[in-house]
């Protein structure tokens, strides 16, 4: 059966995911809302002029329209995904939110809510509780697709999907979900920033994330973030807590345009394959270039190379000398991929984002002041970032701030 997602892919090639491991900021206090801990990267958001769009509809109108399509998701047989102990949660259970995608019974939620569950139930507005099957999970985007039998539900009401690429700072934002187990709670706010980066459940990162001040809390995971017309623009995933156990006005949602790319493959194959280069890199500033005697003051400085990974097999070298800044000096400096300039580590990820595993790319890099090149056959990204490094860096700790591993 074809989901309506398959009709929404045109024009999205340029928005394909460029996922790298998020930088861990000590004490940042960013968590999955109903899921495991995560952290935001210091990625600069895009700055745009504040928007005056109001949407023209009342929140009450939007809520009454979308509420029947927002569901409560409970996953059994897994350790509770939330560190808060949501109402009704006991050991071996996790709960969150979700919303109906289509008339065929597909429901979208967060991967961290249902991944590894032995069983999942979905509760609809009319208190209908039905079993759901997990048909696909993508930890790298924190998205999961569930399937319920349409015959088991009185009236499936899919939500309309918007365009997260068109969002502007200041646009209205409406969150609907089940915070702390309170069914179909609605909160409002604005789009605070776009193109943020958060840490995915598997240790890689999610790019182009939406930041909002609409109050979202544990239990909102997987619920929709709506625009002023009631269209889904994001999937609520994480909040910054500032050390507290609830919202402080900084929430993060996976953009719906990311879901438009990922969901069709989850429906068809149960997973979303991404290419894998197998290096960790750090940005280069003029100060770093001067301190390390680098030939350029931009590029992606290789820190680690995954043993037997694509870059390792092509001869790319990791750094060998620890510095007081946390960087490792002596690694190759990547400055180009397939003719595209590499100015920052983000450019490495962007260069391979649209390429499938097995594709060959040409890497240009400096080694000891000499410009060299190598051809690399991209591999398939492992399930988790931690599994790529054996043993894990520094005994399992994440890289220092500024280091973006594993495109």
Which of 97, 112, 171, 192 is catalytic? The answer is 112
3-state DSSP call for residue 14? helix
Distance between alpha carbon 359 and the CA centroid of its chain, in Å?
23
C-alpha–C-alpha distance, residues 284 and 325, integer Å = 12
* Assigned token pair, 195: 């193109």
Of residues 289, 283, 256, the one with CA closest to residue 349: 283
C-alpha–C-alpha distance, residues 277 and 271, integer Å = 19
The dihedral region occupied by 257, where left means phi > 0, alpha psi between -120 and 50, and beta the remainder, is alpha
Which of 95, 221, 247, 298 is catalytic? The answer is 221
Active site residue 112: yes
Which of 41, 115, 138, 142 is catalytic? The answer is 142
Tell me 24's DSSP state. P
Active site residue 7: no
* Assigned token pair, 178: 């089940």
**Angle at the Cα of 250 from the Cα atoms of 248 and 254, rounded to 5 degrees:** 140
C-alpha–C-alpha distance, residues 269 and 148, integer Å = 18
The torsion angle over the Cα atoms of residues 288, 290, 291 and 297, rounded to 10 degrees, is: 20
Active site residues: 112, 142, 221
């Amino acid at each position: 059966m074809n989901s309506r997602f398959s009709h929404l892919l045109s024009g999205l090639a340029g928005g394909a995911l460029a996922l790298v491991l998020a930088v861990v900021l000590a004490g940042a206090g960013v968590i999955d809302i109903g899921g495991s801990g995560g952290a935001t990267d210091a990625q600069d958001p895009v700055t745009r002029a504040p928007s005056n769009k109001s949407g023209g509809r009342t929140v009450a109108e939007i809520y009454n329209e979308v509420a029947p399509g927002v569901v409560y998701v409970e996953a059994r047989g897994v350790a509770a995904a939330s560190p808060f102990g949501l109402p009704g949660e006991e050991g071996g259970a996790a709960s969150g939110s979700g919303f109906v995608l289509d008339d065929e019974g597909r429901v979208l939620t967060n991967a961290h809510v249902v991944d590894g569950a032995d069983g999942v139930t979905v509760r609809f507005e009319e208190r209908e509780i039905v079993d759901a099957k997990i048909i696909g999970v993508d930890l790298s985007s924190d998205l999961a697709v569930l399937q319920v039998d349409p015959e088991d539900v009185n009236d499936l009401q899919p939500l309309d999907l918007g365009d997260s690429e068109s969002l502007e700072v200041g646009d209205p934002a409406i969150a609907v979900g089940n915070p702390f187990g309170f069914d179909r709670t609605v909160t409002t706010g604005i789009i605070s920033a776009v193109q943020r980066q958060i840490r995915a459940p598997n240790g890689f990162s999610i790019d182009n994330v939406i930041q909002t001040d609409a109050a979202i809390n544990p239990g909102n995971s997987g619920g929709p973030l709506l625009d002023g017309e009631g269209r889904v623009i994001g999937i609520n995933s994480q909040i910054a807590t500032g050390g507290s156990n609830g919202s402080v006005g900084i929430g993060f949602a996976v953009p719906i345009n990311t879901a438009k790319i990922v969901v069709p493959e989850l429906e068809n194959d149960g997973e979303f394959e991404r290419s894998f280069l197998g290096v960790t890199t750090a940005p280069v500033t003029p100060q770093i270039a001067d301190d390390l005697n680098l030939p350029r003051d931009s590029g992606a400085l290789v820190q680690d190379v995954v043993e037997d990974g694509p870059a390792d097999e092509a001869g790319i070298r990791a750094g060998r000398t620890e510095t007081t800044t946390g960087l490792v000096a002596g690694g190759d400096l990547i400055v180009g991929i397939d003719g595209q300039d590499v100015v920052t580590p983000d450019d490495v990820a962007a260069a391979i984002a649209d390429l499938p595993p097995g594709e060959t790319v040409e890497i240009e890099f400096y080694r000891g002041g000499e410009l060299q090149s190598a051809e690399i056959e991209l591999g398939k990204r492992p399930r988790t970032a931690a599994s790529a490094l054996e043993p894990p860096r520094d005994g399992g700790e994440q890289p220092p701030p500024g280091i973006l591993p594993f495109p």
